[in-house]
A and B are shown apart, each in its own frame.
Chain A
Amino acid sequence: MSCTSDTHCITCSDEGVSMRVIELLGDGIACCAGADGAPAEVMVDLVGPVEPGDTLLVHAGGCSPNRGRGAAAAMKYVDEYRDAELGRVLAGEIVAIVEPGREYKIMEVCGGHTHTIYKYGVDDLLPANVELVHGPGCPVCVIPMGRVDDAISVAHIPGVIFTCFGDMMRVPGGSGTLLEAKARGADVRMVYSPLDALRIARENPDREVVFFAVGFETTAPSTALTLKRAKAEGTPNFSCFSNHVTIVPPLRALLESPDLRLDGFVGPGHVSTVVGARPFEFIPADYGKPVVISGFEPLDLLQSVYMVLRQLVEGRCEVENQYARVVPADGNPAALAVLEEVFELRPHFEWRGLGFISHSGLKLSAAYAELDAELRFEIPGVRVADPKACQCGEVLKGVIKPWECKVFGTACTPERPIGTCMVSSEGACAAYYNYGRFAREREVV
């Protein structure tokens, strides 16, 4: 049979359409037919094995061969979505709703979202004029090097058992990592939960047990409840080195940043479970930009991007909640109450790549001062400039993409990270390195 499309090359068009495989033509090309029955040649070499009868989402947002291949690669992931057909429909609706010639820049704030986007090729399902920018929502990535050095300094104090989450062990400070400190003799232990750190304190009454607390409002209530229990039961050898941060101040800083133009936000899921939707209302109110709080499945992200685009196209801006099945509008009152009791805002806190941001960090409140490691131990308060070659700051601000960093994938890899964004699996660089186009293009080569 003849397989030609007399109107246009389907892989170069800007459409996202559902097509059925009719015949395999070899060399990674298949003859496919859309709803109108018209045949077209489609590159399928990255979709994995396809057979006549399979349904593919054929979408490409540009004419470069790589883009076409990227789009084909994304198709196979659609079948892994909770509702593959809805995924196809949404991708098609996104293509249909955007205005040609208008550029859309949407920031996904949460590192978990970044992970899903690369893992499931969500960005490859979007038209070329819709760009997802990765924001500063990975808690490990935003820790400045000086705080890691401070942590290492505490870990080396004789008698201290220093506890932290697994991700933090590999984050480089100016003088190495906690993992290296452990190799040099410091008693550094990885814990799953701050409550594990508290148990270690109970089991070692003659040792000082310090918990290295990091994370946004998702994680801070867990530290707060742990401190509350430590205080109530009287575990005097337990203390907390707090590096907790809050999500709103960095977003405001980004919106004030002159070198970044954003059109809207995909808001964080788990953070919003705690804080609710209200804290994000300043974004439409003060900056006229839409926010859609999103779940973590690829379909959630696709739908949230569609909702942001729909607001933009309709000239609206408000906070919408795509993840209402988990995120209550008012957040979690029990979590907010314990945060209020145990923590207070620092006047300012340093963020990796973003500098000092006012009222963005949490320290222990006066009522919990006795459990504050920063008061119990001498903390050097190290300030370390980021390595010159490392561009984590620009990645965190969304000014450059991970692969545009000079050391991405060469000097800086997940095995030997220079910057924080390459450490955590939620970091934009690690997510892109593991799942992104870079890996796919290498496969092609």
Chain B
Amino acid sequence: MCLAIPGQLLEFVDEANRLARVDVAGVVRNVNVGLLDVDGESARAGDWVLIHVGFALSKVDEEEAMATLRMLQGMGADYEAELEELKASVIE
């Protein structure tokens, strides 16, 4: 549960509840991006974010996202388990 997985924000699906669709290694699910609303700025389509338990924790650049993804993929079973849990997630 402690992993933060990089994903790319595709579009907002529920602005009021700060829910956006993200693509995490090909798995597309809704997550909350409200924690990125800081100083009038918020996450936008195309942004790379680190996602933890269904919430985007921080914005990262694409290089950082790719490097993190490579490292997670290298972890094998633990990363696979996290992705399976994400696949089962239906946030609305």
Contact = CB atoms under 8 A, between A and B. Distances in A.
Interface in A309-361: 325-327, 332-335, 338
Interface in B32-81: 32, 34-39, 50, 52-55, 57-58, 60-61, 64, 67-68, 70-71, 74-75, 77-78, 81
Given A270-B4, A296-B68, A334-B36, A196 B55 contact: no
Contacts of A110: 2
B50 A215 contact: no
Given A190-B85, A297-B71, A199 B91 contact: yes
B3 interface: yes
A190 B86 CA distance: 11
B78 A225 contact: no
A338 B34 CA distance: 10
Nearest to A167: B1
Contacts of A196: 54, 88-91
A167 B74 CA distance: 20
A325 B50 CA distance: 12
Given A80-B74, A229-B17, A165 B53 contact: yes
Nearest to A112: B2
Contacts of B53: 165, 192-194, 215, 219, 222
A273 B67 CA distance: 18
Contacts of A274: 57
A104 to B, nearest CB: 26
Interface in A270-285: 270, 273-274
A168 B1 CA distance: 9
A218 B37 CA distance: 16
Interface residues of A, number: 48
B86 A325 contact: no
Interface in A205-248: 214-215, 218-219, 221-222, 225, 229
B35 to A, nearest CB: 5
A332 B70 CA distance: 26
B92 interface: yes
Interface residues of B, number: 39
A163 to B, nearest CB: 12
Contacts of A138: 2
Given A166-B81, A424-B2, A426-B2, A221 B67 contact: no
Interface in B9-34: 17, 31-32, 34
Contacts of B68: 296-297
Contact of A424 (B1, B4, B34, B54): B1
B10 to A, nearest CB: 18
A252 interface: no
Interface in A124-170: 138-140, 165-168
Nearest to A332: B35
Contacts of B31: 193
A229 B35 CA distance: 13
A192 B50 contact: no
A76 interface: no
Contacts of B61: 325
Contact of B85 (A166, A298, A333): A166
Which of B50, B57, B77 has the largest count of A CB atoms less than 10 A from its CB? Answer: B57
A221 B4 CA distance: 14
B70 to A, nearest CB: 8
Contact of A139 (B2, B3, B35, B71): B2
Contacts of A296: 68, 71
A262 interface: no
For the complex of A and B, list the 8 residue pairs with the smallest distance between their C-beta atoms, beginning with the closest: A193-B54, A192-B89, A192-B85, A165-B1, A222-B55, A425-B78, A195-B91, A193-B53
Interface of B: 1-4, 17, 31-32, 34-39, 50, 52-55, 57-58, 60-61, 64, 67-68, 70-71, 74-75, 77-78, 81, 85-86, 88-92
Given A111-B2, A166-B81, A195-B54, 10 more contacts: A80-B74, A119-B74, A139-B2, A165-B1, A192-B86, A194-B54, A214-B1, A274-B57, A326-B64, A425-B77
